[in-house]
Amino acid sequence: MGGLDIFKSYINARGEWTPSYNLKAPINSGWDDFGFVVDTFARLRGNTIQTGYFSSSREGGIGSDDIYAYTRATPEVSVADQIAAADAASEEDKIHYELYLAIRIMEPIFADHNDPNSEIVGGRPLVRARIEIEEGVMARPFRTDEDGYLIMAIDWESTYYITAKFTGFLSKRMDFNANVLEKDPEEPIKTHNLVIVLDPIFKGKEILLDDIYYDLDKWDIRKDAEPSLNGLVSLLKDNPRVSIELGSHTDCRADDDYNMDLSQKRAQSAVDYLISKGIKGSRLQAVGYGETKFAINCECSLCTEEEHQANRRTTFKIVQ
Protein backbone atom coordinates (compact mmCIF):
# COMPACT_ATOMS: atom_id res chain seq x y z
CA MET A 1 0.00 0.00 0.00
CA GLY A 2 2.97 2.29 0.64
CA GLY A 3 6.76 2.25 0.60
CA LEU A 4 6.91 -0.11 3.58
CA ASP A 5 3.98 -2.28 4.74
CA ILE A 6 3.33 -4.61 7.67
CA PHE A 7 2.54 -8.24 6.83
CA LYS A 8 1.29 -11.16 8.94
CA SER A 9 2.35 -14.80 8.99
CA TYR A 10 1.93 -17.58 11.55
CA ILE A 11 3.20 -21.07 12.29
CA ASN A 12 0.85 -23.83 11.12
CA ALA A 13 0.32 -27.27 12.67
CA ARG A 14 3.37 -28.64 10.81
CA GLY A 15 5.63 -26.01 12.38
CA GLU A 16 5.98 -24.12 9.07
CA TRP A 17 5.48 -20.41 8.45
CA THR A 18 2.46 -19.69 6.26
CA PRO A 19 2.60 -17.28 3.28
CA SER A 20 2.50 -13.70 4.54
CA TYR A 21 -0.35 -11.32 3.77
CA ASN A 22 -0.78 -7.56 4.02
CA LEU A 23 -2.60 -6.25 7.13
CA LYS A 24 -4.02 -3.39 5.04
CA ALA A 25 -5.76 -0.33 6.56
CA PRO A 26 -5.89 0.98 9.21
CA ILE A 27 -2.51 -0.53 10.20
CA ASN A 28 -0.98 0.11 6.79
CA SER A 29 -1.28 3.40 4.91
CA GLY A 30 0.03 5.00 1.75
CA TRP A 31 3.21 5.86 3.64
CA ASP A 32 5.91 3.79 5.35
CA ASP A 33 4.53 1.45 8.07
CA PHE A 34 6.85 -0.86 10.00
CA GLY A 35 8.05 -2.05 13.42
CA PHE A 36 4.81 -3.81 14.47
CA VAL A 37 4.93 -5.03 18.12
CA VAL A 38 2.23 -6.78 20.18
CA ASP A 39 2.23 -5.67 23.84
CA THR A 40 2.13 -9.06 25.59
CA PHE A 41 2.39 -7.36 28.99
CA ALA A 42 -0.70 -5.17 28.54
CA ARG A 43 -3.60 -5.39 30.98
CA LEU A 44 -6.63 -6.03 28.75
CA ARG A 45 -10.00 -4.72 29.86
CA GLY A 46 -13.53 -4.88 28.50
CA ASN A 47 -13.76 -6.20 24.95
CA THR A 48 -10.08 -5.46 24.18
CA ILE A 49 -8.24 -8.59 23.02
CA GLN A 50 -4.89 -7.12 21.95
CA THR A 51 -2.87 -3.91 22.10
CA GLY A 52 0.46 -2.94 20.63
CA TYR A 53 2.51 -0.41 18.70
CA PHE A 54 3.87 0.28 15.21
CA SER A 55 5.87 2.98 13.45
CA SER A 56 4.59 5.03 10.54
CA SER A 57 5.45 8.10 8.50
CA ARG A 58 1.76 8.70 7.69
CA GLU A 59 0.17 12.14 7.64
CA GLY A 60 -0.91 13.57 10.98
CA GLY A 61 2.27 12.70 12.88
CA ILE A 62 4.68 15.07 14.54
CA GLY A 63 7.88 13.76 12.95
CA SER A 64 9.06 11.92 9.88
CA ASP A 65 8.48 8.56 11.63
CA ASP A 66 6.13 8.33 14.63
CA ILE A 67 5.11 5.56 17.03
CA TYR A 68 1.40 4.74 17.09
CA ALA A 69 -0.57 2.60 19.54
CA TYR A 70 -3.38 0.33 18.39
CA THR A 71 -6.16 -1.54 20.17
CA ARG A 72 -7.90 -4.60 18.81
CA ALA A 73 -11.33 -5.37 20.25
CA THR A 74 -14.22 -7.74 19.64
CA PRO A 75 -16.88 -5.85 17.65
CA GLU A 76 -20.37 -5.11 18.88
CA VAL A 77 -22.66 -6.98 16.49
CA SER A 78 -25.87 -5.22 15.40
CA VAL A 79 -29.18 -6.99 14.77
CA ALA A 80 -28.80 -6.38 11.03
CA ASP A 81 -25.36 -7.97 11.06
CA GLN A 82 -26.75 -10.98 12.94
CA ILE A 83 -29.47 -11.46 10.31
CA ALA A 84 -26.93 -11.16 7.50
CA ALA A 85 -24.69 -13.68 9.25
CA ALA A 86 -27.59 -16.13 9.53
CA ASP A 87 -28.28 -15.84 5.79
CA ALA A 88 -24.64 -16.57 5.03
CA ALA A 89 -24.42 -19.48 7.46
CA SER A 90 -25.72 -22.06 5.00
CA GLU A 91 -22.96 -21.17 2.54
CA GLU A 92 -20.31 -21.28 5.26
CA ASP A 93 -21.47 -24.75 6.33
CA LYS A 94 -19.97 -26.06 3.09
CA ILE A 95 -16.50 -24.81 4.08
CA HIS A 96 -14.21 -27.00 6.18
CA TYR A 97 -12.70 -24.89 8.95
CA GLU A 98 -9.69 -25.81 11.04
CA LEU A 99 -8.40 -23.99 14.11
CA TYR A 100 -5.00 -24.33 15.78
CA LEU A 101 -3.70 -22.79 18.97
CA ALA A 102 -0.01 -21.86 19.00
CA ILE A 103 1.06 -21.27 22.60
CA ARG A 104 4.49 -19.79 23.22
CA ILE A 105 5.97 -19.70 26.72
CA MET A 106 8.42 -16.85 27.28
CA GLU A 107 10.45 -15.34 30.09
CA PRO A 108 11.18 -11.61 30.40
CA ILE A 109 14.72 -10.30 30.02
CA PHE A 110 15.47 -7.64 32.63
CA ALA A 111 18.00 -4.86 32.13
CA ASP A 112 19.51 -6.09 35.41
CA HIS A 113 18.92 -9.81 35.69
CA ASN A 114 19.19 -9.57 39.49
CA ASP A 115 16.63 -6.77 39.81
CA PRO A 116 12.94 -7.64 39.24
CA ASN A 117 12.12 -3.91 39.24
CA SER A 118 14.49 -3.08 36.37
CA GLU A 119 13.25 -2.44 32.84
CA ILE A 120 12.12 -5.39 30.73
CA VAL A 121 14.21 -5.16 27.57
CA GLY A 122 13.10 -8.32 25.75
CA GLY A 123 12.07 -11.94 26.12
CA ARG A 124 13.31 -15.44 25.39
CA PRO A 125 11.47 -18.77 24.90
CA LEU A 126 11.33 -21.36 27.65
CA VAL A 127 12.23 -24.78 26.19
CA ARG A 128 10.31 -27.83 27.46
CA ALA A 129 8.08 -25.74 29.68
CA ARG A 130 5.15 -27.69 31.05
CA ILE A 131 1.66 -26.85 29.82
CA GLU A 132 -1.51 -28.37 31.25
CA ILE A 133 -4.64 -27.85 29.17
CA GLU A 134 -8.11 -28.53 30.55
CA GLU A 135 -11.15 -28.87 28.30
CA GLY A 136 -14.33 -29.90 30.06
CA VAL A 137 -13.40 -32.78 32.39
CA MET A 138 -10.23 -33.66 30.45
CA ALA A 139 -6.75 -32.43 31.38
CA ARG A 140 -3.71 -33.15 29.20
CA PRO A 141 -0.01 -32.41 29.83
CA PHE A 142 2.31 -31.07 27.12
CA ARG A 143 5.86 -29.69 26.70
CA THR A 144 7.02 -26.79 24.57
CA ASP A 145 9.52 -27.36 21.76
CA GLU A 146 12.98 -25.81 21.29
CA ASP A 147 11.37 -22.49 20.31
CA GLY A 148 9.02 -22.43 23.30
CA TYR A 149 5.99 -23.41 21.21
CA LEU A 150 3.14 -25.86 21.60
CA ILE A 151 0.83 -26.10 18.58
CA MET A 152 -2.38 -28.11 18.75
CA ALA A 153 -5.69 -28.42 16.93
CA ILE A 154 -8.62 -27.07 18.95
CA ASP A 155 -12.40 -26.88 18.65
CA TRP A 156 -14.08 -23.62 17.58
CA GLU A 157 -16.74 -23.91 20.29
CA SER A 158 -14.62 -24.89 23.30
CA THR A 159 -13.08 -23.07 26.24
CA TYR A 160 -9.57 -24.09 27.30
CA TYR A 161 -7.95 -23.56 30.69
CA ILE A 162 -4.19 -23.34 30.24
CA THR A 163 -1.59 -23.55 33.01
CA ALA A 164 2.07 -22.92 32.17
CA LYS A 165 4.88 -24.02 34.50
CA PHE A 166 8.66 -24.00 34.54
CA THR A 167 11.11 -24.76 37.33
CA GLY A 168 12.24 -21.58 39.06
CA PHE A 169 9.36 -19.54 37.64
CA LEU A 170 5.91 -18.56 38.84
CA SER A 171 3.14 -20.58 37.21
CA LYS A 172 0.45 -18.77 35.27
CA ARG A 173 -3.08 -19.82 34.36
CA MET A 174 -5.04 -18.38 31.44
CA ASP A 175 -8.47 -19.05 29.99
CA PHE A 176 -8.92 -19.16 26.23
CA ASN A 177 -12.39 -19.13 24.69
CA ALA A 178 -12.31 -20.13 21.03
CA ASN A 179 -15.86 -18.79 20.60
CA VAL A 180 -14.50 -15.24 20.28
CA LEU A 181 -12.69 -16.12 17.04
CA GLU A 182 -14.52 -15.45 13.81
CA LYS A 183 -14.59 -17.92 10.95
CA ASP A 184 -13.30 -16.35 7.75
CA PRO A 185 -14.17 -18.09 4.46
CA GLU A 186 -11.02 -16.59 2.94
CA GLU A 187 -8.90 -18.11 5.72
CA PRO A 188 -10.59 -21.42 6.66
CA ILE A 189 -7.44 -22.72 8.37
CA LYS A 190 -6.49 -20.37 11.16
CA THR A 191 -3.84 -20.38 13.88
CA HIS A 192 -4.34 -18.25 16.98
CA ASN A 193 -1.11 -17.22 18.70
CA LEU A 194 -1.06 -16.97 22.49
CA VAL A 195 2.03 -15.77 24.36
CA ILE A 196 2.34 -16.57 28.08
CA VAL A 197 5.14 -14.80 29.95
CA LEU A 198 6.34 -16.54 33.12
CA ASP A 199 8.08 -14.42 35.75
CA PRO A 200 11.19 -15.80 37.46
CA ILE A 201 10.99 -16.31 41.21
CA PHE A 202 13.07 -13.65 42.98
CA LYS A 203 12.87 -15.12 46.45
CA GLY A 204 13.48 -12.59 49.20
CA LYS A 205 13.63 -9.57 46.87
CA GLU A 206 11.13 -6.73 47.07
CA ILE A 207 9.01 -6.23 43.96
CA LEU A 208 7.21 -2.93 43.48
CA LEU A 209 3.43 -2.98 43.14
CA ASP A 210 2.42 -0.22 40.73
CA ASP A 211 -0.41 2.25 41.23
CA ILE A 212 -1.08 1.69 44.93
CA TYR A 213 -1.67 5.06 46.53
CA TYR A 214 -3.26 6.16 49.80
CA ASP A 215 -5.01 9.35 50.82
CA LEU A 216 -3.20 11.56 53.33
CA ASP A 217 -3.08 9.93 56.79
CA LYS A 218 -5.29 7.07 55.50
CA TRP A 219 -4.68 3.36 55.04
CA ASP A 220 -7.87 2.09 53.39
CA ILE A 221 -7.50 0.55 49.90
CA ARG A 222 -8.62 2.93 47.16
CA LYS A 223 -10.42 1.78 44.01
CA ASP A 224 -7.44 2.69 41.82
CA ALA A 225 -5.26 0.27 43.82
CA GLU A 226 -7.51 -2.73 43.26
CA PRO A 227 -6.25 -3.76 39.76
CA SER A 228 -2.67 -4.09 41.03
CA LEU A 229 -3.77 -6.08 44.08
CA ASN A 230 -6.05 -8.24 41.93
CA GLY A 231 -3.00 -9.15 39.86
CA LEU A 232 -1.34 -10.30 43.07
CA VAL A 233 -4.46 -12.33 43.90
CA SER A 234 -4.15 -14.14 40.54
CA LEU A 235 -0.45 -14.80 41.16
CA LEU A 236 -1.18 -16.37 44.55
CA LYS A 237 -4.07 -18.46 43.24
CA ASP A 238 -1.92 -19.73 40.37
CA ASN A 239 0.88 -20.59 42.83
CA PRO A 240 -0.80 -22.05 45.95
CA ARG A 241 2.52 -22.96 47.62
CA VAL A 242 3.85 -19.41 47.50
CA SER A 243 3.78 -17.21 50.60
CA ILE A 244 4.57 -13.51 50.51
CA GLU A 245 5.41 -10.53 52.64
CA LEU A 246 3.42 -7.39 51.85
CA GLY A 247 5.51 -4.32 52.69
CA SER A 248 4.57 -0.66 52.97
CA HIS A 249 7.07 2.24 52.96
CA THR A 250 6.67 5.94 53.67
CA ASP A 251 8.75 8.96 52.75
CA CYS A 252 10.91 10.83 55.29
CA ARG A 253 8.31 13.43 56.24
CA ALA A 254 6.45 13.21 59.58
CA ASP A 255 7.57 11.56 62.81
CA ASP A 256 9.42 8.21 62.66
CA ASP A 257 7.02 6.43 65.01
CA TYR A 258 4.01 7.85 63.21
CA ASN A 259 5.32 6.66 59.84
CA MET A 260 6.06 3.20 61.20
CA ASP A 261 2.52 2.87 62.57
CA LEU A 262 0.95 4.25 59.37
CA SER A 263 2.94 1.93 57.12
CA GLN A 264 1.98 -1.10 59.24
CA LYS A 265 -1.70 -0.20 58.92
CA ARG A 266 -1.34 0.22 55.16
CA ALA A 267 0.44 -3.11 54.77
CA GLN A 268 -2.26 -4.79 56.85
CA SER A 269 -5.00 -3.19 54.71
CA ALA A 270 -3.41 -4.72 51.61
CA VAL A 271 -3.21 -8.12 53.33
CA ASP A 272 -6.85 -7.85 54.42
CA TYR A 273 -7.83 -7.11 50.82
CA LEU A 274 -6.06 -10.25 49.59
CA ILE A 275 -7.78 -12.31 52.30
CA SER A 276 -11.17 -10.90 51.21
CA LYS A 277 -10.42 -12.32 47.74
CA GLY A 278 -9.90 -15.84 49.04
CA ILE A 279 -6.18 -15.95 49.88
CA LYS A 280 -5.38 -17.68 53.18
CA GLY A 281 -3.99 -15.37 55.82
CA SER A 282 -1.35 -17.97 56.73
CA ARG A 283 0.34 -17.24 53.38
CA LEU A 284 0.58 -13.49 54.01
CA GLN A 285 2.70 -11.25 56.24
CA ALA A 286 2.11 -7.52 56.67
CA VAL A 287 5.25 -5.50 57.41
CA GLY A 288 5.37 -1.72 57.81
CA TYR A 289 8.85 -0.35 57.18
CA GLY A 290 8.06 3.30 57.78
CA GLU A 291 11.05 5.34 56.63
CA THR A 292 13.70 2.67 57.33
CA LYS A 293 14.27 1.49 53.72
CA PHE A 294 14.23 4.26 51.16
CA ALA A 295 14.21 3.52 47.44
CA ILE A 296 16.01 6.84 46.92
CA ASN A 297 18.35 8.22 49.57
CA CYS A 298 18.13 12.00 49.61
CA GLU A 299 18.33 14.61 52.33
CA CYS A 300 14.71 14.98 53.44
CA SER A 301 14.49 18.75 53.11
CA LEU A 302 16.02 18.57 49.64
CA CYS A 303 14.06 15.61 48.23
CA THR A 304 11.91 16.40 45.22
CA GLU A 305 8.24 15.40 45.20
CA GLU A 306 9.10 12.66 42.68
CA GLU A 307 11.69 11.26 45.09
CA HIS A 308 9.19 11.35 47.96
CA GLN A 309 6.69 9.51 45.75
CA ALA A 310 9.26 6.84 44.86
CA ASN A 311 9.88 6.27 48.57
CA ARG A 312 6.14 5.98 49.33
CA ARG A 313 5.58 2.55 47.87
CA THR A 314 3.98 -0.85 48.42
CA THR A 315 5.98 -3.97 47.67
CA PHE A 316 5.79 -7.72 47.98
CA LYS A 317 8.44 -10.39 48.23
CA ILE A 318 8.24 -14.14 48.06
CA VAL A 319 9.30 -15.69 51.36
CA GLN A 320 8.38 -19.30 50.59
Q: Alpha helices, DSSP H only, in 148-255?
A: 226-238
Residue 200 has, within 13 A of its CA and on its CB side, a CA count of: 18
Give residue 276's pLDDT: 95
Confidence of residue 229 (pLDDT cuts 50, 70, 90): very high
Poorest-pLDDT segment among 6-15, 66-75, 199-208, 232-241: 6-15
pLDDT at 219 over 70: yes
Bridge partners for 123 per DSSP: 108
Nearest C-alpha neighbor of 210 from the set 100, 314, 98: 314
* Selected residue with higher pLDDT from 91 and 65: 65
Confidence of residue 14 (pLDDT cuts 50, 70, 90): low
Confidence of residue 174 (pLDDT cuts 50, 70, 90): very high
Q: Please tell me the pTM assigned to this model.
A: 0.69
Mean pLDDT of 3-18: 74
Q: Given phi > 0 = left and psi -120 to 50 = alpha, else beta, which region is 96?
A: beta
Give residue 16's pLDDT: 67
Cis peptide before 108 (omega within 30 of 0): no
pLDDT, one tens digit per residue, over 299-312 is 988 999 888 888 88
Mean pLDDT of 214-225: 82
- Beta strand pairing call for 149-154 and 98-110: antiparallel
Give residue 215's pLDDT: 74
Confidence of residue 196 (pLDDT cuts 50, 70, 90): very high
Nearest C-alpha neighbor of 187 from the set 5, 9, 1, 6: 9
Percentage of the chain exceeding pLDDT 70: 92
- CA R_g for the chain: 24
CA 206 from centroid of its chain's CA atoms: 20
Confidence of residue 48 (pLDDT cuts 50, 70, 90): confident
d(C-alpha 149, C-alpha 76), whole Å: 32
* Selected residue with higher pLDDT from 309 and 266: 266
pLDDT at 75 over 60: yes
- Domains of the chain plus CATH, in order, are 7-73 (no CATH), 80-197 (2.60.40.10), 207-318 (3.30.1330.60)
d(C-alpha 76, C-alpha 84), whole Å: 14
Give residue 265's pLDDT: 93
Classify residue 127 by burial, with Cβ atoms within 10 Å: 0-12, 13-18, 19+.
Answer: middle
Give residue 251's pLDDT: 85
pLDDT at 283 over 60: yes
Give residue 178's pLDDT: 92
pLDDT at 319 over 90: yes
pLDDT at 190 over 80: yes
d(C-alpha 236, C-alpha 231), whole Å: 9
Mean pLDDT of 29-52: 83
Mean per-residue pLDDT over the chain, rounded: 87
pLDDT at 172 over 90: yes
pLDDT at 89 over 80: no
**Count of other CB atoms within 10 angstroms of residue 191:** 18
Give residue 84's pLDDT: 67
